[in-house]
Structure 1
Amino acid sequence: MLAIYKKELKSYYTSMIGYVVAALTLVAVGIYFYAYNLLSLSPFIGYALSGASITLLIVVPILTMRSLAEEQRSKTDQLLLTAPVSIGKVVMGKFLAMVSVILLPVVIICFYPLALALFGKVPFLSSYSVIFGFLLLYAAAIAVGMFISSITESQIIAAVVSFGVLFLSFLMGGISGMVSDTAKTSLIAFTVLIIALVFLIYGMTKNVVVPVVVGLAAEGALIAVYLLKSAWLAGAINKVLNSLDIMSRFNTFVNGTLDLGAVLYYLSVIGLFCFLTYQSIEKRRWS
């Protein structure tokens, strides 16, 4: 894993990607830091990081688009599949390399509260908690982007889809508020999600039988619940949509709280999408 990590990390800095990611992140944070902390005389860096988090929509697709898509296109992924290293170590090596790229600007941001302390009292615990949440937010988004890169050979498609998925996640809180909480709405919404799941499974397995069986079983169970216990579905889709909102968890850090539930959520997202990336690569090994 260490060899993969070093190779990937070096590739980001022998190209312009590592420098572009660091520059975009620091420029965005610097603008909000100037507006919220220097002009408004606020001692808490959380609002600056909250405003700058929108750069995630650009930074993460740039960082993750080539992680696996380019190797599929150039067929160099076959070297990884036949190398004497487990796929899990390949995935973690690539993931940690990308997190290390974003870690550089985060380390620089850690000096901002110290700079503010020269002018007055600064809540260091809250400030460094929100910086930690900022890193977790980006790490979770990187895991999502890495998985998307693993299912396509095109860097452009990987970048566009990653942007779209992350953008929808940012909007998910507002979308959830506009969706009715009736059982019928949940039935329709879950049916759409099942259809999307069927296409996702087919894209990963290239097997028609498995996604069809899974889809029919899931839809049958859903209809049974709707007919027998429709109350269970009331508001269920709203809860699912809220669970897809990665930004709302970061807001707990912005409010000055080190929320262990939010930490667990981000770690779960990272674990889930690293596992899905592993499965995507494993499928190619046997296809």
Structure 2
Amino acid sequence: MDSYIKGYFCEHELGDDNDKIIRAVKCDKLIHQENTGMQELVVFDSDALGRCLALDGAMQLTEKDESSYQEMISFLALNSHPDPKKVLIVGGGDGGVIRECLKHHCVEEITLCEIDKRVVELSKKYLPFMSSSFDHPKVTVNIGDGYAFIRENKNAFDIIITDSSDPKGPAVSLFQRDYYKSLHECLRSGGIISCQAETIWYHLSLIKFLHTTASEFFKTVAYATTMVPTYPSGQIGFLLACKDQRINFDVPFHKFTEEQVDEMKLKYYSTEIHQAAFVLPTFVRKALQLAETP
């Protein structure tokens, strides 16, 4: 907590200029800090942002803006599938994606695979606004390697959401070619993936790699964006892909009325936001078009 400015949580941006850009958030109260054996975990309070969680020096969520990430990584996929009954979440030990998936009326079963049990335990203790749905009867929690679980389960899920941290430490394998091959094999026909896919401003080469890699296995691939002010550059994206069908991700199968949005207590997602999420800046659109070229 005292790496550069006393009393502030300081984060290096992950990318080519990671020694040149540092973000700092005032830590008004340190709640918990430990090495879990897999990663360094910190929970603290910020007067400006509310309760915050960081892993290995990278901000994972703040109470202020977590909805823009949790809702989008979940509903972009769920609302692009006509009948998503079985959902697998890889990572997501804070419980936010579970919370959002349970809002979708079609979902009957949710399986979460989190490799670090302390993330789940401490989220239950310190992040009740995220973790309140862990004990829901539709939810099964597996503490273990999500990648191994995917390899062991073929043709099993309608939706797979990879809610991972950055590609370092325990999350490195989730950004590699074999992982996307295994995702394809784990999905049922018509199945859809939604994967955390970094920011266009610092990680465009990685996004191009992921887009090209997914295109080897999936019939339709797209990149969507959302705004999260406390993440690097204030923007983060998701790689969406459909196993064996040509679909338009920017035309959601399920569309919400304003009454439904209010009923589900959504703060960020709407049908209009869904459609807009796939409108990319010119430099990104051109980079991904080049990535599709053999």
TM-score by length of 2: 0.21
Largest Rg, 1 or 2: 1
Q: What TM-score results when the alignment is normalised by the length of structure 1? A: 0.22
Q: Which one has the bigger strand percentage? A: 2
In proportion to residue count, which structure has more helix?
Answer: 1
